[in-house]
Amino acid sequence: MDVVQIEKDLEDLIPGYVANVKTYVKDMTAQVAAGEFEPIARTAHNIKGSGGGYGFMKITEIGAQLETAAKANNVESIKSLLAQLESYVANVKIEYV
């Protein structure tokens, strides 16, 4: 299990951010099934930028890989990365420091 240390002053924002990422995973899962790669690339770009800002470097890493996979229309990579992202946000342990 991943443990992430996040600044105490972000504590009020983190539950909403994590919930948003879970929603993004659901949305992107539907989009890949429909062959809609551009919205996946946009969302992945956004989470690539936001993850690290909240202290979730793994979200940034997966977002970067997702963006690349979406631009290449690589369905299998997108599905694999979405599964990784979904598992990560479901299981990450957050410590506020």
Q: For position 86, which CATH number holds?
A: 1.20.120.160
pLDDT of residue 13: 96
Domain span holding position 34: 3-96
- State the alpha helices, DSSP H only, in 1-36: 14-33
Q: Does 31 score more than 80 pLDDT?
A: yes
Q: Quick one: what percent of the chain has pLDDT higher than 90? A: 99
pTM: 0.95
Number of folded domains in the chain? 1
- Reported as a single tens digit per residue, the pLDDT across 38-81 is 999 999 999 999 999 999 999 999 999 999 999 999 999 999 99
List C-alpha distances in Å: 27 to 24, 43, 91, 96. Answer: 5, 9, 20, 29
Q: Quick one: what percent of the chain has pLDDT higher than 70? A: 100
